[in-house]
Amino acid sequence: MTITSGENRICSISELAPPQAVLFDVDGTLCDSDPLHLYSFSEMLVEIGFNGGVPITEQFFMETIAGKHNEDIATALFPDDHERGLKFCDEKEERFRKLAKENLVPIKGLYKVKKWIEDHKLKRAAVTNAPRENAELMISLLGLTDFFDLVIVGSECDHPKPYPDPYLKAIEILNVSKDHTFIFEDSVSGIKAGVAAGMPVAGLTTRNPEEMLQQANPTLLIKDYEDPKLWAALEELDKKTVTSN
């Protein structure tokens, strides 16, 4: 399976041989955290009478909030009072972190792909639009603090996703080539960022519909890390790596 990258060339996971690194988004990619975000946003927006006190729908959440940076969320929810929107988002993150400590669940097969990456001695980074406090908490709760070489946060880059900056910063710090690196993502915003950075992206259909993610041009779409499509792609990469050595 292939895509046209930001440089208008066809790229696939097997073309990365020999692989050097793997980059992961966090929310919805390492763990199924969107339900916790949805619950937090919905509860707090009802409390302030947003939308006439009618709870937001999952569709509204996916289209307006999921995968986006808090700056953009604040603007979308409070177009006439950005500062209020930012304060609201900060308070929402506090509520999310409390929920996460008791309810965070890894994506199925996460530790299987983790072992594959470790066995292949690849470098790895978490690249997210989430606040650093959120990202580091989730990574810690999943037992992945020592797994990642670094954590890149969108707000600490010139531009967050869907711009390619966070992914380009990750490969620069890891000192790896984009021609030997691939990405796991679950949102339209994140997939667009990876594609714009010129790397193959495996999109997870954790919560977003396949047809929505497909519009962002992922290399392949997988249900989770046990999906046979993923392991077929990794097997192909292994074969090509052996041939190239």
Asked if 234 and 40 count as a contact pair (C-beta separation under 8 A), the reply is no
Amino acid at position 102, single letter: E
Distance CA 130, CA 166 (A): 12
Query: What φ, ψ does residue 126 adopt, rounded to 5°?
Result: -95, 130
SS3 220: strand
Cβ contacts of 55-63, under 8 Å, gap ≥ 24: 61/34, 61/37, 62/207, 62/208, 62/212
Which residue among the candidates 27, 165, 186, 227 is catalytic per the annotation? 27
Give the tokens for residue 31.
């763990």
Non-local (6+) Cβ contacts of 97 within 8 A are 133, 134, 137
Distance CA 194, CA 170 (A): 11
Q: CB-side exposure of 147: number of CA atoms within 13 Å?
A: 22
User: C-alpha dihedral over 62, 65, 72, 138, to 10 degrees?
Assistant: -120
Distance CA 82, CA 49 (A): 17
Q: Does the annotation count 179 as an active-site position?
A: no
Length in residues, the chain? 245
Residue type, 94: E
Is 158 catalytic? The answer is no
Residues serving a catalytic function are 25, 27
